[in-house]
Amino acid sequence: MTDTKKVNLLGLSPEKLIAFFESIGEKKFRATQVMKWIHQKGAENFEEMTDVSKALRAKLETICEIRAPEVVSQNISSDGTRKWIIRTEGGKNDCVETVLIPDGDRATLCVSSQVGCSLDCSFCSTGKQGFNRNLTPAEIIGQVWIAIKSFGPMDPNGPRRVTNVVMMGMGEPLMNFEPVVDAMILMMHDNAYGLSKRRVTLSTSGVVPKIYELVKRTDVSLAISLHAPNDALRNELVPINKKYPIAQLLEACQHYLANLPDKRHITIEYTLMSGVNDNEEQAYELAALLEELECKVNLIPFNPFPHSGYEKPSNNRTRRFQKIMADAGYTVTVRTTRGDDIDAACGQLVGDFQDKTRRSQKYIELREVK
């Protein structure tokens, strides 16, 4: 029981770690040393920290800890994709997923920010679970720590095991603002993971006021889950659109880009659902809508899950949508599904055992009576 009272240093942002060291009467540079031990060398206890005095190590031992979330399972797909199910503190079913997708000399880690999600997008299995709880900063950065450690001892001079992070796992990152910001600062910090700000991306379904807050705090790259070219359809697919319609969202995107210190683009995510948002007129409408925005478009063929009520479009339809956007001058990629054999595809995260929540049951019943 005493452990629960210890401060978990894993999730403290550089600023908070320094403040903590100062609060216990220690110098700033000690915080830097400890930060490097935790995030660059993967230290799990204070004993390992050989350049920290014995007395300080003993003191730290009594008042703090380095505690990563518990890994329930780790799967490695035949295509190299790795997936972890991570149990967060709370209940025995409070699990999230983390997925690492290698691609040539890149490896992108898809990180979760909440158990479930309150925003209830109609096509998202996380949304169907309802909102359970927010992850702590340690549970968020812990996913990066666990992924890198899965390759063996961490070596700051060795090959980079994770080159990119996308906050595209479970949850809406802007609804768990402070912990997500702290974790992303660690991802980019030179004394922690040192990732380029161009390679750390936050994906949001459009919590507009928080986009304005975000650019005051970090300069990560931004992805917007748009999924529809007009408000009528987006209101159905992404209910938060009723609160913050497309025009406000695009204005927030412009503000975000204008306030970054460098020139960047927004990534527009558009999940293609057969017969819902994938026809030619919708492609033209989307092309016109995004005209003023510096952006790239990522088309995601819908990943089916039981009782979703949606289907993914044929390859032909996907290609046609892509071509219309490309002809209009956009850079358009189509996300290919990886890690199929371990259910690591987008929107299929932590499937079955959480599908039994009341909200999901209600949803299934609704679908079935239709």
Q: Residue 124 CB: number of other CB atoms within 10 A?
A: 24
C-beta of 42 vs 127, nearer to ligand SF4: 127
Q: Which of 137, 346, 350, 354 binds ligand SAH (CB under 6 A)?
A: 346
Beta strand pairing status for 95-103 and 82-87? Answer: antiparallel
Q: Closest distance between ligand SF4 and the C-beta of residue 329, in Å? A: 27
CA atoms within a 13 Å half-sphere pointing along the CA-CB vector of 307: 19
**Residue 134 interacts with ligand SAH (CB under 6 A): yes or no:** no
Q: Is 227 annotated as a binding residue?
A: yes
CA atoms within a 13 Å half-sphere pointing along the CA-CB vector of 211: 25
**Residue 203 interacts with ligand SAH (CB under 6 A): yes or no:** yes
**Residue 205 interacts with ligand SAH (CB under 6 A): yes or no:** yes
**Residue 77 interacts with ligand SAH (CB under 6 A): yes or no:** no
Choose the catalytic residue: 65, 97, 139, 269: 97
**Residue 302 interacts with ligand SAH (CB under 6 A): yes or no:** yes
Please give the residues from 208 up to 237 whose contact with ligand SAH meets the rule CB under 6 A: 225
The helix-helix angle for 137-149 and 177-188 (nearest 10°) equals: 40
Q: Which of 164, 303, 354, 360 binds ligand SAH (CB under 6 A)?
A: 303
Residues in contact with 106: Cβ distance below 8 Å, sequence separation at least 6, in sequence order: 163, 164
Q: In the annotation, is 97 catalytic?
A: yes
Beta bridge partners of 96: 86
Question: Which residues of this chain interact with ligand SF4, rule CB under 6 A?
Answer: 117, 119-121, 124, 126-127, 171-172, 205, 225
Closest to 201 measured CA to CA, from 227, 175, 174 = 174
Q: Is 225 annotated as a binding residue?
A: yes
Q: Closest distance between ligand SAH and the C-beta of residue 112, in Å? A: 8
Beta strand pairing status for 106-110 and 164-167? Answer: parallel
Q: Closest distance between ligand SF4 and the C-beta of residue 120, in Å? A: 6
Place of tokens 């880009």: 257
Closest to 130 measured CA to CA, from 159, 99, 93 = 93
Binding residues for S-adenosyl-L-methionine are: 171-172, 203, 225-227, 303
Binding residues for [4Fe-4S] cluster are: 117, 121, 124
* Residues taking part in catalysis: 97, 346
